[in-house]
A and B are shown apart, each in its own frame.
Chain A
Amino acid sequence: MSLQSAFYSSQSDDEELLLLLGGIYEASLFVPLIREPFNISTLTGEEWTREILSCDNPRVFREEMRMEREVFDALCCSLRVKNLLRDSRYSSLSILHQDEYTNAGKL
């Protein structure tokens, strides 16, 4: 039986093909989960913000935020009070390699 006839010969073969395609599709859904890590900096954005906020030199803050610390605090406060912005918790599902996982545990 030629390859072509294997594809087109019978109903059951078609179904097998569909199953196979379905399998490939399903597998492709997992591809994004095992991609190479992209954000690799040890300084996360949150830590960076914390760094700016905790710096004693007012110039650092001014240069970064283009406003005085008091103004920034007032803005955060007023947006929080009005419930227009809130601290939001987010989590991401990801696959870590074993060694990364253990490293993360150590940190």
Chain B
Amino acid sequence: MSILTLANYRYITVEHQLHMFLSIVTNSASTRTTASRFQHSSETVNRYFNRVLDALDQISSEYITLPTSAATLAVPAEITTNPKFYPYFKDCIGAIDGSLIPVSIRENEASVGAYRCRKGFLAQNVLAVCSFDLTFQYILAGWEGAANDGRVLEDALQKGFTIPTDKYYLADAGYGLTPNFLTPYRGVRYHLKEFAQGTQRPQNAKEIFNLRHASLRNAIERIFGVLKKRFPILKKQCEYKLGTQVKLVKALCCLHNFIRINGGLDEYYNQATDSEPNSIDDDGNLNLGRHLQLVEPVTRIDRGIAKEKRDKIAEKMWQDYLKHIRYTS
């Protein structure tokens, strides 16, 4: 005999909603798996996944912020406390880079070709700006994987990524040199690996600039390392709508910042700090020449100013370094 009944009312608490969301993003689990783990229908899991995603999206503007106040624009402690960086990089407030996050594209959503990145898989190109204490300052997700980093940056600058005039970020050689984005010298040793292999010391001003640029810019490689380690879903294609996948990147960066702000350094940061310097850049030297067609909306004057600025820093570093060597030997 069957009885028609209203099955017991149940509360889905906020904790439970978050638990489901975290279970998906930390295990890169499918909706079906999660539904079975949590004993809900796929529809319920999806609904709450999207609610949490929207909620995180809403608070992202509060937790991912560009430095504007005097306090946030002060010289970062990571620079002041390290004589290799201070005073040379005292106006530097962070680092930028693009990262390729795998995406899945449904047939009717977008043209697949545009999302095929230089590494061969389907990806979105995510521009991230981070400070040296490993918090995100700005995120622009959703660009096609085939787009080059310079183009994405240009778009970000139009969409609200602003830099105080006298400050700058460190960027890799894939970007154009401007007064606000200092890139390394091209055609000179750059990657930490290259320096680690040979015991040879930096030989000139350009080399020492590149070495220190690389080790300071390393923050952006580390932050991506931490992010992808904590939320492995970002390393894997997931079967959501494209819009959801784009939103997810920003939401997880927001969550990263939330954890960073409320929890300080936890084990993920420590692990990443230990392991990253050797694997600073899996592109290897390809990195230097990876964008042959650079989009450089900079005027020649700006370019000149930037070059002068970089030369000045490099020269000062080199002189101090020579002094240091003479003093110690």
Do these two chains interact? yes
Listed in ascending order, the chain A residues whose CB lies under 8 Å from chain B are 33-34, 39, 41, 43-46, 48-49, 52-53, 62, 64-68, 70-72, 74-76, 78-80, 82, 84-98, 101, 104
Residues from 1 to 52 in B contacting A, C-beta threshold 8 Å: 1-20, 22-23, 26, 36-41, 44, 51-52
Interchain CB contact under 8 A, B18 and A93: no
Q: Are B262 and A70 neighbours in the complex by a CB distance under 8 Å?
A: yes
- The distance in angstroms between the C-alpha atoms of A53 and B72, with both chains bound, is 35
Min C-beta distance of B8 to chain A, whole Å: 7
CA distance A49 to B34 in the complex (A): 13
- Which A residues are in CB contact (< 8 Å) with B231? 66
Pair B11/A78 contact, Cβ less than 8 Å: no
The contact of B38 among A34, A48, A95, by CB within 8 Å, is A48
**A84:B59 contact, CB within 8 angstroms:** yes
CB<8 Å pairs between A and B, sample of 12: A39-B41, A45-B40, A70-B263, A71-B259, A76-B14, A76-B15, A84-B58, A93-B6, A95-B3, A96-B7, A97-B3, A101-B5
C-alpha gap A48/B36 in the complex (Å): 12
Q: How far is the CB of B235 from chain A (nearest CB, A)?
A: 14
Cα distance, A34 to B59, chains bound together (Å): 42
Query: Among the listed A67, A84, A94, which residue makes an inter-chain contact with B266, where contact means beta carbons less than 8 Å apart?
Result: A67
A44 — which chain B residues lie within 8 A by C-beta?
10, 38-39
Give the interface of B toward A (CB within 8 A). Answer: 1-20, 22-23, 26, 36-41, 44, 51-52, 54-55, 58-59, 230-231, 255, 258-259, 262-263, 266-268
Quick one: which of A52, A92, A94, A96 has the most chain B CB within 10 A? A92
**In contact, B13 and A96 (Cβ under 8 angstroms):** no
Shortest CB-to-CB span from A36 to chain B, Å, is: 13
Q: Among B16, B258, B266, find the residue whose CB has the most chain A CB atoms closer than 10 A.
A: B16
Told that A39-B40, A49-B15, A52-B19 touch, could you supply 8 new A-B pairs with CB distance under 8 A? A45-B38, A46-B11, A66-B268, A71-B263, A72-B15, A74-B262, A75-B18, A101-B3
Q: Which residues of A contact B263 (CB under 8 A)?
A: 67-68, 70-71
Q: What residues of chain A lie closer than 8 Å to B16, measured between beta carbons?
A: 45-46, 49
Known: A41-B39, A45-B37. A91 touches B15 (CB 8 A): no
Give the contacting residue for B7; candidates A48, A53, A93; CB below 8 A: A93
Across the A-B interface, give the 4 residue pairs with the lowest CB-CB distance, nearest first.
A45-B38, A84-B55, A39-B39, A71-B263
In the complex, are the beta carbons of A87 and B12 less than 8 A apart?
Answer: yes
B258:A71 contact, CB within 8 angstroms: yes
Partner pick for A66 among B2, B10, B26, B40, CB 8 A cutoff: B26
**Which chain B residue has the least Cβ–Cβ distance from A71?**
B263
B8 and A66 form a contact (CB under 8 A):
no
* Chain A residues within 8 Å of B255, by CB: 75
| Residue numbers in A under 8 Å from B4 (CB-CB) | 33, 93, 95
